[in-house]
Amino acid sequence: MDVIVFLTFALTAVVCAANMILQRHPISSAISLIGVMGSLAVLYLLLGAEFLAAVQVIVYAGAIMVLFVFVIMLLNAEAEQKTGQSLVARYVGIPALLVFLALLGLLIRALAPASRQVVFGGFTGGTPLAVGRTLFTEYLLPFEVTSILILVAILGAIVLARKEAD
């Protein structure tokens, strides 16, 4: 059952990521990014990281996406115009990309030792208490700097929006 759920949401994440890249309208790309973030949250749940899944939904699919959509609306971004070079990209660029990815995969497979296997240990540091303790003791300065940067970004967005309204 876990394998079916994993494959379903992994495929959903890949399809949403491809849709995000291929969309010409920025709002459609932002909605696809929300799909990617939601799929990743389900994958975190499958790994047993409930706290990380909740943070993924609240912070990334919620707050960060609201900021992205706000900036898109503030810039009045429209759909990207099609160019005449799409035929060149279709008949030369896409096959070249596929050949490059195939060669890269072969190179990685040749360089990676076959005996290397990942073994997961019993890591218990992912609890909300442990994350909070680490965040507010060892990483207090980066946490505060990040909060100040977010505050400056919010104030800058308010100033830009106010000038537009006046």
Q: How many domains does one find in the chain?
A: 2
Answer yes or no: is 92 within a domain. no
Answer yes or no: is 32 within a domain. yes
In single-letter form, the type of residue at position 158 comes to I
- Using the 3D structure, point to which of 41, 57, 79 is the last residue of a domain: 79
Answer yes or no: is 96 within a domain. no
**Nearest Cα to 150, choosing from 34, 75, 64?**
64
Answer yes or no: is 86 within a domain. no
32: domain CATH number? 1.20.120.1200
pLDDT, tens digit, 9 for 90 and up, residues 99-122: 888 888 888 777 766 555 555 555
Residue 88: which pLDDT band, with cuts at 50, 70 and 90? low
Answer yes or no: is 100 within a domain. no
pTM, two decimal places: 0.54
Answer yes or no: is 44 within a domain. yes
Answer yes or no: is 34 within a domain. yes
Answer yes or no: do 141 and 73 share one domain.
no
Q: Are 46 and 88 in contact (CB under 8 A)?
A: no
* Over residues 85-106, mean pLDDT: 76
pLDDT, tens digit, 9 for 90 and up, residues 8-55: 999 999 999 999 888 888 888 888 889 999 999 999 988 888 888 888
Q: Quote the CA–CA distance of 144 and 166 in Å, as a whole number.
A: 33
Answer yes or no: do 72 and 3 share one domain.
yes
Answer yes or no: is 109 within a domain. no
Answer yes or no: do 69 and 138 share one domain.
no
pLDDT, tens digit, 9 for 90 and up, residues 124-157: 566 778 878 888 898 899 889 988 998 888 888 7
- Tell me the residue range of the domain where 16 lies: 1-79
